[in-house]
Copies of this chain bind each other. A is one copy, B any other.
Amino acid sequence: MIKTPYILFLGDAPDMLAAKVAIGIRDWRPENAIGQYRMEGCKADLGLTDMTLADAKAAGAKTLVIGVANRGGVISQAWKKVLVGALEEGFDLASGLHNLLRDEPDLVAVAEACGRSLHDVRVPEVEYPIANGEKRSGKRCLAVGTDCSVGKMYTALAMDAEMRAREMKCTFRPTGQTGILITGDGVPLDAVVADFMAGSVEWLTPDNDPDHWDLIEGQGSLFHVSYSGVTMALIHGGQPDALILCHEPTRDHMRGLPGYELPTLETLRDTALPLARVANPACKVVGVAVNTQNLSEVEARAYVEKVENEIGLPTTDPYRFGASKLVDALAQV
């Protein structure tokens, strides 16, 4: 569990794209983003208050989150100076970088001396159980995709935002490093040992109030041969009551797999639903989320309408047009 709120470290980001993680935090948990820390030459700007470490401390920030990708996979000396200063100022550090904070002896030594924590959210911090398949109370929704990176996380976050606005009981349950940094908690599922994958998802989505929804972040795709095992563990460990089908309509092959075609939304539905019903016989497919970022507004509206007519399920781009249609459908379950 990462202590919130955060000061978002943007470092020397070469552009906005490099600050994807920080943007996610600002967009979906603005209450966690007290301000931004930018180094000389930083080309990203989240529109948050620029703060020194002392400013951030005074404003109540507890953790400095590395909200930017580093260049060349190395934590530079320029970054180190700020990170060491942050530990000394009393902040914990949190990072989703491939190269781990805990592998940097200077950061480890200073954190220890200052009594601070280093959170590498790519690495599981919990000993997860083996899944037991027992029925849990409360309800769960899982986004499954025709491919990887089709907007499953944004779909869950947009539904979470809409449900909060309606004062429905819900919790976004992250299963990847960006989601974990956004909320401060979750399971880095792609780094969990095979035998414990489904158990980690059960652990993440425990018993809850009967009218509470967990919105589980999806991973991979049943049709993506590199990661389908992770998706399968989410479908069985998550025991979803509701599935949302996610799709990006402009791909000509599966991400990173030339020669592999995307399945249709109908094939995804007919594959995922029977598998989900093994763990939860009441599971239903309740809607479709289309990622229209590569379409114009007119194209996007036409595509969404076409899908909705063909598959007969509430369909929208929840990021572009809002998630109310999907939440309406969920409220019926």
Which A residues lie at the B interface, using CB under 8 A? 130-133, 189-195, 197-199, 222-223, 225-233, 235-237, 254, 256-257, 259-260, 263, 271, 274-275, 278-279
Q: In the complex, A257→B222 CA distance in Å?
A: 23
Known: A198-B226, A228-B232. A257 touches B132 (CB 8 A): yes
Return chain B residues, CB-CB under 8 Å to A189: 194
Partner of A222, one of B132, B192, B263, B275: B275
Q: In the complex, A228→B232 CA distance in Å?
A: 6
Report, nearest first, the 8 A-B pairs whose CB atoms are least far apart: A229-B233, A225-B236, A232-B232, A229-B229, A131-B226, A190-B195, A229-B232, A133-B225
Return chain B residues, CB-CB under 8 Å to A195: 190-191, 226-227, 230
9 further interface pairs, Cβ-Cβ under 8 Å (given A132-B226, A133-B254, A222-B275): A131-B226, A133-B260, A190-B193, A190-B195, A195-B230, A223-B278, A225-B237, A228-B235, A229-B232
Chain B nearest CB: distance from A325 CB in Å?
30
Asked if B191 and A229 make an inter-chain contact with CB atoms under 8 angstroms apart, the answer reads no
Closest B residue to A267 by CB, please name it. Answer: B274
The residue in A130, A190, A195, A198 that gathers the most chain B C-beta atoms within 10 A of its C-beta is A195
Asked if B133 and A229 make an inter-chain contact with CB atoms under 8 angstroms apart, the answer reads no
Asked if B274 and A229 make an inter-chain contact with CB atoms under 8 angstroms apart, the answer reads no
Q: List 28 A-B contacts (CB under 8 A).
A: A131-B225, A131-B226, A132-B226, A132-B256, A132-B257, A133-B225, A133-B226, A133-B254, A189-B194, A190-B194, A190-B195, A191-B193, A191-B194, A194-B230, A198-B225, A198-B229, A199-B226, A223-B278, A225-B236, A225-B237, A225-B278, A228-B233, A228-B236, A228-B275, A229-B231, A229-B232, A260-B278, A271-B274
Partner of A194, one of B193, B254, B263: B193
Return chain B residues, CB-CB under 8 Å to A233: 194, 228-229
Chain B nearest CB: distance from A34 CB in Å?
33
